Amino acid sequence: MMGGIVRGQDDITVAKVSTQSQRVGTSALTVELRETTNLSIFAVRGLPNVDRLRTLDAEQLSKLVTIRVQPVKGDVVLPSMLGTFSVVDGELLFQSRFPLSESVRYQVELSSQLDDPTRILPSLLFSTHPKPKLPAASVTAVYPSSDVLPENLLKFYVHFTAPMSRGEAYQRIHLMQGGNEVKSPFLELGEELWDIEQTRFTLFVHPGLVKRGVKPREDSGPPMSSGNEYSLQIDSSWQSADRQPLASTYVKKFRVVDADDQQPNPTTWKIGTPKANSTEPVTLTFDEPLDHAMLNRALVVRGPSGHRIEGDTTVEQHETRWSFKPANPWKSDDYRVEIATNLEDLSGNSLTRPFETNTVESTEQNDKAKVATQIIVEFFVQ
């Protein structure tokens, strides 16, 4: 290991770096793989026309370098890895979105446009250096956090302590009623819904089984029925991005009550105001639990001049209370909380429309929603 600087598109971090370097055939190009514990960067050096590369956008840069897992079978072409391209200090960089795996090799393919269009550049193979094993990942929370949920619940959010592997979610999560597994209750998407850190997975209950009057619901009935108890089980065999199984199986138990067809009602919300010269939070208490992920992004606090107030958001009391603590003390003045009207409750009812609508009603609601994309709650700090 050696000391060094890892450069990403948006950051420069001093870290311990392990570097592998390979010459690209008889060209002047060299490819390096630079690794830290949680960061992997491929760098192409010796580029003859760096100024031209600086004028290219990320999509154009991605056509010059392709990095993929080496196929086990020669005739199989695997998709390119996800990550970020940039040009920094004369080098073309690719920063992998996820940690590299020790169990595979990585194939780097360079376009001839990087060196000489008349020459075919050979592919290079890299193996990642072994890294110290991190503690096994675990589930930190499942939202909604309440143990009482509506029959027409639309989604779960599963949070992990570390990035997880992709492509396993629908095999590892089960909806159980007693000792029996509910058959096909979830919407299984081809592209799993992860946040950018790959530590939060969004799991949709199949809308066709939730929404009344549609064929899947009429044929099979709802996946959860009022008056019954269920559990969401997340298997310990699910592997994290570093290929370790979860520390333990996670089980969330809950009871199901009647469906919720009512929209959230902002007129019933209660606001708690802070004192001037303090960093006490401003709070909103809702008439029902709201969508956890949306509560963290759909509300913005602004000052008297309209500037955004920086600070930290907390969602608590089973998603019925939102609080915002400012980075700097409040001044005695008028403030407001701007709330996006697409904010939903647990059943997909937003501030502008209920989840259960027919086509005509939905069109009328959408027309009205165009006029108001947000509602404003004003408060005064004194």
Alpha carbons 63 and 65: distance in angstroms, whole number: 6
Terminal Cα distance for the chain, rounded = 56
In which band, very low, low, confident or very high, does the pLDDT at 364 lie, cut at 50, 70 and 90? low
What are the φ and ψ backbone dihedral angles of 77, each rounded to 5 degrees?
-105, 115
Band (13; pLDDT cuts 50, 70, 90): very low
Q: What is the pLDDT of residue 189?
A: 92
Structural domains in the chain, sorted by start: 2-127 (2.60.40), 139-257 (2.60.40.1220), 266-381 (2.60.40.1220)
Mean pLDDT of the chain: 88
pLDDT in tens, 94-151: 998 877 887 789 999 999 888 888 888 999 999 987 766 778 999 999 999 999 999 9
**pLDDT at residue 323 above 80?**
yes
**Whether the predicted pLDDT of 6 surpasses 50:** no
169-222 pLDDT per residue, tens = 999 999 999 889 999 999 999 889 999 889 999 999 999 888 887 877 777 788
Tens-place pLDDT, residues 257-290: 999 999 999 999 999 999 999 999 999 999 999 9
pLDDT at 225 over 70: yes
Q: How confident is the model at residue 367 (pLDDT cuts 50, 70, 90)?
A: low
Whether the model clears a pTM of 0.75, i.e. scores above it, the answer is no
Sign of CA dihedral 98, 102, 104, 109: positive
pLDDT band at 46 (very low <50, low <70, confident <90, very high): very high
Query: Which token pair is 9?
Result: 């598109």
Burial of 298 (0-12, 13-18, 19+ CB in 10 A): buried
> Residue 57: pLDDT band by 50, 70, 90 thresholds?
confident
